Amino acid sequence: MTLLPQEIIRRKRDGGALEAELIQDFIEGLTTGRVSEGQAASFAMAVFFRGLSVAERVALTQAMVRSGEVLKWDLPGPVLDKHSSGGVGDTVSLALAPAVAACGGYVPMISGRGLGHTGGTLDKLDSIPGYVSQPDIDTFRLVTHDIGCAIIGQTADLAPADKRLYAIRDVTATVESIDLITASILSKKLAAGLQGLVMDVKFGSGAFMDNAADARALAESLVLVANRAGLPTSALLTDMNEPLASAAGNAVEVAYTADYLTGRRREERFHRVTVELSAEMLVLGKLASDIVEARKKIEEAIASGKAAEIFQRMVVALGGPGDLLERPEKHLEAAPVIRSIHAERSGIVQKIATRDVGVAVVALGGGRTRPQDPIDHAVGLTELAGIGATVDANRPLAIVHARTEAAAEAAARAVRAAYAVGEGAAKSGPLILERIGATS
Catalytic residue among 188, 269, 355, 368: 188
User: Higher-confidence residue: 163 or 202?
Assistant: 202
Active site residue 187: no
CA geometry: angle at 107 spanning 105 and 110, to 5°? 170
Catalytic residue among 57, 66, 82, 216: 82
Active site residue 189: yes
Encoded amino acid at 122, one letter: L
155 pLDDT tier (thresholds 50, 70, 90):
confident
What residue spans define the domains of the chain? Answer: 5-51, 80-328, 333-422
Collapsed DSSP state (helix, strand, coil) of residue 219: helix
Rounded to the nearest 5°, which phi and psi values hold at 225? -65, -45
Active site residue 233: no
5-51 belongs to which CATH class? mainly alpha
Q: Element (H or E) spanning 398, and its range?
A: strand 398-402
pTM for this predicted structure:
0.89
Active site residue 83: yes
The mean pLDDT of 126-142, rounded to a whole number, is 94
pLDDT, tens digit, 9 for 90 and up, residues 42-66: 999 999 999 999 999 999 999 999 9
Active site residue 124: no
The mean pLDDT of 263-279, rounded to a whole number, is 97
Whether the pLDDT of residue 440 is over 50: the answer is no
pLDDT computed for residue 371 by the predictor: 67
Lowest mean pLDDT across 3-17, 153-167, 193-207, 373-387 = 153-167
80-328 belongs to which CATH class? alpha beta
Catalytic residue among 31, 67, 81, 269: 81
Catalytic residue among 57, 66, 83, 141: 83
What are the residues whose beta carbons fall under 8 Å from the beta carbon of 93, sequence distance 6 or more? 82, 84, 109, 111, 121, 151
HSE of 367 in the Cβ direction (CA atoms, 13 Å)? 28
CATH of span 333-422: 3.90.1170.30
Q: Element (H or E) spanning 238, and its range?
A: strand 233-239
* CATH topology match: 80-328 vs 333-422: no
Encoded amino acid at 139, one letter: T
Active site residue 169: yes
